[in-house]
Chains A and B, each alone.
Chain A
């Protein structure tokens, strides 16, 4: 997030009623999406019990960059499906990684959905992303404790 003072600065044209105050930029969203995508793939790899090789890390970072650059494409879906297959390739243990992967999978989906709509050079009012952020937080608060309990019971 960045604080925008566009309405008050003399060098910028006057802009009333839009994107004044605290704003979220398209770049911020893509940064969140890229970081969450990379973390998702790495967490899935760790959760499946595989060794994290530097080459694999580099490949995942590249994949995350592609997801961040092209959110309105099949790339985010591909990352999500690859995550599921990585978990499938593991031993199927119920660990804390599973909870982290579940949280990140939802985060990547929501961030990609917003980034698809909000262009990279856009400034969004906080109110524009607030309903989605509230829904994401509510979902995480309700599902993650349940998931932790289920993982603890099944472990």
Chain B
């Protein structure tokens, strides 16, 4: 909630005479003076309605209240789904009209402009607006402003403004059809089948009772039929981990000539980081829906990320982090700890693979984890620069990038651009090849 900011000091909200008041005094004094000095009664007659109207307005004014304004914005919103914001105005007693400046992004907007002028016939008013959430990310809204006036505009308060408001717009949690992840070799809970015998739910066969078998695993029906105690022989259950590594160092647009500019992160549409965030959100939603454990790792900033977990709250946690992701040009991560990337987890690295700094990190992951997916999030098709020198440099960088991706593929890393269907096909093909091999 954003409340009135006390930036005008002790005179905040105090009524002040306006240009209209000064004009009334000036015109009446000049007219009366000229009429008296030059003996011209028609000058006095001309300002009669002016004087009567001003006197009536002055007599009817009550300048008691001090206006207040409060903006109640939602702290969180979904991308593309509007939320309600409330602006409460108080202290309108004695005022005739109130001019409210609604922050851009909520309220009427163009072509009507940000101002709404209200009749101050009630002491308090509450307005409900729809917040245009826009793209994912942290969206800052300008402060709201309020000015009230009375007596034909002879008196008005200074503009009372609120603090700025921020709304975290979460990326979409769109789940897609994804192939099953390979189960972890450790742990004995989860939604995945394994071939390892143990205390699980998947039936392998029914065998004779041996010392050490649990009583509750006895299959009484088979035991009664055969006359000897038999137990259910099961395979242990296992869970699968997916760790999404987000390379937040680059936020590249389609126009190669703009790559040298420092990314602001204000308009993620069509940029590499926006694609990476969307991919991370979709993968997290898809695998969490299947009951897998999903975690998030920021390659640039070690302390940013979400440890693997399951459930709806984990999805919300990941989306919350993704919404607050901003470009971070420095690569500060050198190692992966077991907490953030468990052994046996499937690792997805979302990056444009533009520089060599990513290579050792992916190599580390390849050595310690079975399945590493390199998802290329560079937007396409690129617009190459017109300048010859810039064009040559861009071609060199892109050629190195292609070579880097080819080297990753040779190392056994599954390389693909961001396309859920294509990634699913490649993962299934690899799983079939692994089973056959």
Contact = CB atoms under 8 A, between A and B. Distances in A.
B153 A114 contact: yes
Interface in A99-114: 101-103, 105-106, 109-110, 112-114
Contacts of A126: 119
Contacts of A94: 42
B97 A129 contact: yes
Contacts of A117: 18, 97, 99, 147, 149, 153, 156
A101 B50 CA distance: 11
The residue among A74, A98, A131, A154 with the most chain B CB atoms within 10 A of its own CB is A131
B376 to A, nearest CB: 38
Given A73-B19, A117-B149, A147-B48, 19 more contacts: A12-B108, A13-B129, A16-B127, A17-B125, A17-B126, A24-B117, A76-B19, A84-B34, A87-B42, A105-B46, A106-B53, A109-B54, A112-B19, A122-B117, A124-B97, A127-B118, A128-B98, A128-B117, A146-B48
A136 interface: yes
29 contacts: A14-B82, A15-B127, A15-B128, A24-B117, A77-B27, A80-B27, A81-B27, A81-B30, A84-B34, A87-B42, A87-B46, A88-B43, A92-B40, A101-B46, A102-B50, A106-B49, A110-B53, A113-B18, A114-B152, A114-B153, A118-B97, A119-B99, A120-B113, A123-B113, A123-B116, A126-B119, A128-B120, A140-B49, A142-B52
Interface of A: 4, 6, 12-19, 24, 26, 71-74, 76-77, 80-81, 83-85, 87-88, 92-94, 98, 101-103, 105-106, 109-110, 112-114, 116-132, 135-136, 138-140, 142-144, 146-147, 150-151, 154
Interface in B116-156: 116-121, 125-130, 132, 147, 149, 152-154, 156
A125 B31 contact: no
Given A117-B153, A143-B52, A130 B127 contact: no
Contact of B34 (A4, A88, A93, A154): A88
B153 to A, nearest CB: 3
In the A-B complex, the 7 residue pairs with the closest CB atoms = A121-B113, A127-B119, A113-B153, A124-B117, A122-B115, A113-B20, A77-B23
B24 interface: yes
Interface of B: 18-20, 22-24, 26-27, 30-31, 34, 38, 40-43, 45-50, 52-54, 56-57, 60, 82, 96-100, 106-109, 112-121, 125-130, 132, 147, 149, 152-154, 156
B392 to A, nearest CB: 47
Given A13-B129, A122-B117, A136-B53, A116 B43 contact: no
Given A13-B82, A26-B115, A131-B96, A116 B49 contact: no
Nearest to A138: B56
B153 A123 contact: no
B20 A109 contact: yes
A151 B45 contact: yes
Contacts of A119: 99, 113, 115
A64 B43 CA distance: 22
A16 B128 CA distance: 5
Contact of B19 (A116, A121, A154): A116
Contacts of A120: 113
Contacts of B115: 26, 118-119, 121-123
Given A125-B118, A130-B119, A150-B45, A139 B53 contact: yes
A12 B108 CA distance: 7
A15 B108 contact: yes
B47 A102 contact: yes
A84 B43 contact: yes
Nearest to A94: B42
A110 B27 contact: no
A121 B112 contact: yes
B147 A88 contact: no
Contact of A116 (B38, B118, B119, B153): B153
A116 B126 CA distance: 25
A17 B121 CA distance: 13
Contact of A109 (B27, B30, B109): B27
B50 A106 contact: yes
Contacts of B99: 117-119, 122
A128 B67 CA distance: 16
Contact of A15 (B19, B52, B129, B156): B129
Contact of A143 (B49, B97, B119, B125): B49
A16 B46 CA distance: 44
B30 A84 contact: yes
A128 B120 CA distance: 7
A62 to B, nearest CB: 20
Nearest to A100: B46
Nearest to B21: A113
A20 B319 CA distance: 37
A19 B112 CA distance: 11
The residue among B23, B60, B107, B129 with the most chain A CB atoms within 10 A of its own CB is B23
Contacts of B22: 77
B60 to A, nearest CB: 8
B108 A109 contact: no
Contacts of A102: 45-50
B190 to A, nearest CB: 45
